[in-house]
Amino acid sequence: MNAANATAARVDPAVVVAIDGPAASGKSTVSREVARALNWTYVDSGALYRGIAWKALRAGVKPRDAEAVKALLARSRWEFPRRGLAVAFTVDGEDPGEAIRSPDVAESVSDIAALPVVRAFVGEQLRAMRRYAPLVMEGRDIGTVVFPDAEFKFYLDADPEERARRRARDLEAQAGAADVAAVRASLERRDRKDSTRREAPLRAAPDARIMDTTGMSVGEVVARIVAVVRAGVGAA
């Protein structure tokens, strides 16, 4: 039995690793790799908010119109199958794929995510995913709201310029071009919205391990988190 399987075999099946942080802090890539290293299930909570924004834009629903968004959620059919080591989702039988990463969705998602009805819906779906545990779940309020009882909590951050460069590289890979200054401005707008919203604002849980990933490779961040989790699981 290899180390990953050994960790999965002896862990409490309900255990959750919560990895929070602002956009482009590295949490998505890091969380996927942590899940792979542990052989646990990965959940990208932000994808659900992006999925709702994507659905709203396609339906002509304004992201700040709480009643219209509520009605949209009520008439939409959401499913959350596990595919390999990750939880995916479909809306009315359709997988939006990379469309949830479009600039239009990115600009709308903070407004969507600020709506209490949306946060309640997503929170309910995320908690239900404990059926797929042990989990590595990333987002903005996993350790503070969704799973305040999570056994392992991490908050990743990075210098704003570094975060802008990372996001620009991602966008360049998808669309062929990206302006770092424009990307940074977009990230700063989203940070302000996420940090100042009344419902579940972006912040580190009091008991989270805060990691500044500026200048760190993905492998270095993953190794630190995996070491903490394996040590904690071994001590349980």
CATH of domain 12-214: 3.40.50.300
Q: What residues contact 227, with CB distance under 8 A and at least 6 apart?
A: none
Tokens 């988190």 correspond to 225
Q: Does residue 94 have a pLDDT over 90?
A: yes
Q: What is the pLDDT of residues 215-232, one digit of tens each?
A: 899 999 999 999 999 999
**β-strand pairing of 152-157 with 78-79:** unpaired
Model confidence at 14, pLDDT cuts 50, 70, 90, reads confident
Q: What is the pLDDT of residues 37-66, one digit of tens each?
A: 999 999 999 999 999 999 999 999 999 999
Q: Does residue 116 have a pLDDT over 70?
A: yes
What pLDDT, on a 0 to 100 scale, did the predictor assign at position 77? 97
The percentage of residues in the chain with a pLDDT greater than 90, rounded to a whole number, is 68
CB 138 within 8 A of CB 43: yes
**β-strand pairing of 16-20 with 135-139:** parallel
Domain ranges of the chain: 12-214
Q: At what angle do helices 180-196 and 103-113 cross, to 10 degrees?
A: 10
Strands (E), the chain: 16-20, 41-44, 78-79, 82-83, 86-87, 90-91, 135-139, 152-157, 209-212
Q: What is the pLDDT of residues 62-78, one digit of tens each?
A: 999 999 999 999 999 99
For residue 31 the two structure tokens come to 């969380």
Q: Is the peptide bond before 116 cis (omega within 30 degrees of 0)?
A: no
Q: At what angle do helices 27-38 and 3-10 cross, to 10 degrees?
A: 90
Mean pLDDT over the full length of the chain: 90
First to last CA, the chain: 20
